[in-house]
Structure 1
Amino acid sequence: MLDSILFSLNSVAPIFILTLIGVILGRKKFLNDGFLAAADKLVFKICLPCLLFVDIATADLGERMDMNLLAFCIIAVILSFFIPCLVVPLFIKDNPKRGAFIQGIYRANTAIIGIVLAENMFGAEGRSTMALVLPFVVALFNAFAVVILSIYAPADVKLTPKQLVKRISKSVVTNPLIIGIILGLLWQLTGLTLPLLAERSLDYLSGMATPLALISLGATFRLESLKGRLGLTLLASAIKTAILPAVCCIAAILLGFRGVALGVVFIQFGSPASVSSYIMAKQMKSDHELAGQIMLVSTLMSVFTMFAGTFLLRMLGYI
């Protein structure tokens, strides 16, 4: 049991500590909104793509590419989108809230918290395995977000089928994370080794991604923003961080997934709601305040659910 506790602490605590540092720095006004906006742009457009490029370009894809894991994650993401689409309209009658709620359930912050946790739990193997799954789930996240937010958008921002296809295509093709992974795969196909100069430079940029992203995430926390919509926020956050990962992990265990593969499933579906969900909800005139609250509360909840889930899977010998 002590081994399981230490494993869980070592996996989750660094994420919490860096996020807490961000909360403190934000409260002390040490980091202003201009810095946070620039930091987010640097992380998502430069640092994370570099990290993913290096992971893929230097990985042994013959050993790391698990097609069963990839298929499971894709199917699970699809189901985690379509099931709420059928159920949520039965108890939420306001269209902007419907879109924000559904997006908060299925869209995970895998690019930041998922990559970090995979590395903390399984080292380089975990990080590269997560990186190989990431482009497919990110593409689905973006496509589904455009669809659901358009369906429940006000009349003046609804998209025609042609506009919908165009926007989905653009959201996938121009996503920096997907570009970084595709470039990594193309480099793999050349069979060449990255020059030491290039690898070290990219490593320096990659090394900035995790601490900067988590500190920035913490600095944006505003507990006072939780006024109103608390019931829907708590429900969506509980589904996102507890119910969804529990269902997916049980299914994965029954299908025979163990070790790194099962860990990736847990991380993929147990990560909190994505920061991008708030940004896109605001752009599409959805209930962006609800989206932001779900992102905040699910991130706070995930500190406990990630620890509990990691501990349980480790103690039972599944990871």
Structure 2
Amino acid sequence: MLHAFSFSVSVTAPIILMMILGYIFKRRDMISAEFIRSGSSLVFNVTLPCLLFLNIATADVAALIQVKLLATAGLITLASVGLLWIYARNMAGPQRGVFVQGAYRGNMGIIGLATIVNAFGHEALAPAGVYLAIMVILYNVLAIAVLSAAQPKAEQSLLKGMAYSMFSNPLFLAIVFGLCLALIGLRLPEWLTTSGRYLANMTLPLALLCIGGSLSLDRLKGNRSLIFQASAAKLVILPLLSVLIGALLGFRGLNLGILYLMMATPSATASFVMARQMRGDADLAADIIAITTIFSALTTTFGLVGLKASGLI
């Protein structure tokens, strides 16, 4: 058990520390709101796509596409969204869609990849990146569906714009181009790869600092009962069910680790943007993001202790 706890802390502690530093730096005016905005944009549009592209382009494609894992994750997500939608049937329209989105949609691109790298090493980035690409599409489609269904009338122009935004997502495009290069066996020049690595290596530290700097509990304005219900579903119920189903299906090691760590991530920051664009309760979305981000370190650590102690990873 001591070994399992030590392993879990080694995975989550660096992430916690970087977010705490981001929070401290922001409170001491060492980084500004503009820095956080620009840094987050740089991560999403440049450094994270570089990280995913380079790791996938140089990997064994056949080993990346785990059909059973992807199908399982997709079915779990679909089922969870259906159950959450039923559970939230008595909520007000602007809250219902936001509640469901906040309870299933995780920050896989930053927190998920960071914990997977800490747990399994950089070689896990390629299969995790393919998982991310497929699930990003599913997450966006479901988010549009639940937020639109919660409105009296769907806005078709907005739905088209969101669909366009999804398929022009830099992370998705980087993964697709990386897979293409890996399939044809094309290798980039060494100087270009080295330059790309410089950018890629900035990703996780910069992203975690920006997440920490943007955290605030002062803005908790929404229904606190809904906030904590959504947070419990996101951080405890969904990851636990995913592990149970995955273990029953025979997943072990890296595959089970990817499934668990991606499902255990805090609510995605993109859920706030989408909630605001689709006239949902944006304050509720922001509150769910804040609470899940703060408590995910604790829940993920205990989850990893259980998986490691039981020999599943």
What band does the TM-score fall into relative to the shorter chain? over 0.9
Instruction: Give matches, 1:1-319, under 5 Å.
Output: 1-90=1-90, 92=91, 94-153=92-151, 158-160=154-156, 163=157, 166-319=160-313
Q: How many residues align?
A: 313
Q: For residues 13-33 of structure 1, give each alpha carbon's deviation from its aligned partner in whole angstroms, at most 9, with x where no partner exists.
A: 011000000111111122222
In 1: Cα distance, 2:281 partner to 2:160 partner: 23
Shift of 1:89: 1.1
Q: In the alignment, is the contact (CA less than 8 A) between 1:147 and 1:164 conserved in 2?
A: no
Deviation, structure 1 residue 137? 0.4
Q: Which amino acid in structure 2 is aligned with residue 14 of structure 1?
A: P
Instruction: Measure the CA separation in 2 of the matches of 1:260 and 1:125.
Output: 10
> TM-score with structure 1 length normalisation?
0.94
**Separation in structure 1 between the aligned mates of residue 42 and residue 63 of structure 2, nearest angstrom:** 32
Which TM-score applies when normalising by structure 2? Answer: 0.96
Cα offsets for 1:166-214 (capped at 9, x unmatched):
2353132111110110110111122122221111111111111101111
Give unpaired runs (5+ residues) of structure 2: none
Q: State the Cα deviation string for residues 30-83 of structure 1 (Å, max 9, x = none).
A: 222211111111010111111110111011122333211111111112222222
Decide whether the 8 Å contact of 1:281 with 1:287 is kept in 2: yes
- The 8 Å contact of residues 154 and 285 in structure 1, kept in 2 or not, is answered as no
Q: 2 CA distance for matches of 1:109 and 1:191?
A: 31
Unaligned 5+ runs, structure 1: none
Distance 1:165 1:149 in 2: 10
Displacement of 1:164 in angstroms is: 6.4
| Letter of the 1:159 counterpart | E
Query: How far apart, CA to CA, are the structure 2 residues paired with 1:169 and 1:240?
Result: 25
Q: Secondary structure at the match of 1:219?
A: helix
Indicate the SS of the match to 1:5: helix
Instruction: Note the C-alpha offset of 1:165.
Output: 5.8
For each residue in 1:242-265, what CA deviation from the matched residue of structure 2 results, as whole angstroms up to 9, or x when unmatched?
111001100100111000000011
